[in-house]
Copies of this chain bind each other. A is one copy, B any other.
Amino acid sequence: MERQVPEPTTRRLSLYLRVLADMEAGEVETTSSEQIARRCNLNPAQVRKDLAHFGGFGIRGVGYDVAGLRQAVAGILGLDRERPVLIVGAGNLGSALADYPGFNTGGFRIVALLDIDPAKIGTRTRRGAPVCPLEQLEDLVAKHGVEMAIIAVPAPAAPEVVDRLVAAGIRTVLNFAPVRPVVPDGVHVRHVDLKVELESLSFFLAEDEGDGEEEEDA
């Protein structure tokens, strides 16, 4: 019954938030859909339509109040409160993500990393996040009220990890494992498939190379 917000819109809101924060830091008081759009490589109508899902934030003939809109967008994205995050997998990638600046600011806080490797357990990342045994998954979720998790485990382990996370109460998952586990309704998974990104880029190179076989119009 709630108005349905397209996924591309939710992604762009995050972009808007970034440029608005930039503007605010740069002492800009007022802006327009055109300025925002230009800095995101988008169409101004796109910006207005995205915002229109949530109400009228601008003044016709004038534009948007930077600080006010920034706060509004942060609220829409639920970034006006603390968001504890759990990372499963303390390998190269998991550890790098734990220290990633964007995952430790603007509402997010990496609570801990989970792993099964005894050598890693008990250590901490550079930023201080502890590496805990996987068994503590359920306890940590409950204790910190965690609703977001990041998966950075090898592909074979991922499906089971997802199941455990969901059973523990996690409702959003950022998945770096090269598999697409199925989750129940109400749980949202976003896949970051690094190999897919690189391979699909390679396609453009192959296209230009002609690939060896050039049989077209006679």
Contacts and interface: CB of A to CB of B under 8 A. Distances in A.
A5 B41 CA distance: 22
B78 A211 contact: yes
A76 B212 CA distance: 11
A77 interface: yes
A138 interface: no
Given A7-B200, A13-B203, A202-B107, A97 B194 contact: yes
A172 B103 CA distance: 27
A7 B196 CA distance: 12
A17 B199 contact: yes
Contact of A200 (B171, B190, B202): B190
Copies of this chain in the oligomer: 2
Contacts of A95: 92, 96
Contacts of A197: 11, 174, 190, 192
A205 to B, nearest CB: 5
Contacts of A172: 201-202, 204-205
A60 to B, nearest CB: 22
Contacts of A40: 180
A14 B205 contact: no
Given A14-B195, A41-B180, A201 B206 contact: no
A139 to B, nearest CB: 21
Contact of A192 (B41, B83, B192, B206): B192
A37 B68 CA distance: 45
Interface of A: 1-2, 5, 7, 10-11, 13-15, 17-18, 40-41, 75-79, 83, 85, 92-93, 95-97, 99-100, 102-103, 106-108, 126, 147-148, 150, 171-174, 178, 180, 182, 188, 190, 192-209, 211, 216
